[in-house]
Amino acid sequence: MVSKCVKKLPPNPVVEKLRKLVTQFTAAMPVVIALSSKLVQDDPEYWGEIQRIVGSKFVIDKNFKLQDLIDR
């Protein structure tokens, strides 16, 4: 749908912003899917690696949300 907007509408900042947001969302989906895996959720080594990559420590508990990771 975004590709059609880019091709058929005159250039404008709204379409470009939408394109960037959809591209970012699409790129993040494999990570979101992986994080939903029970095996990943229960693996402290995996979370340690995520914390290393993000450069921030955080507590994984029942209140932890994906937004917490995104906000880092």
Q: Which residue has the higher pLDDT, 69 or 7?
A: 7
Listed in order, strand segments (DSSP E) in the chain are none
Q: Among all chains, which residue has been given the structure tokens 């993040």? A: 28
Residue 14 has a pLDDT of 94
pTM above 0.95, yes or no: no
Residue 17 has a pLDDT of 94
Q: What is the pLDDT of residues 6-51, one digit of tens each?
A: 899 999 999 999 999 998 888 878 877 877 888 887 888 888 888 8
Q: What is the DSSP string of 31-70?
A: HHHHHT-HHHHT-HHHHHHHHHHHT-----STT--HHHHH
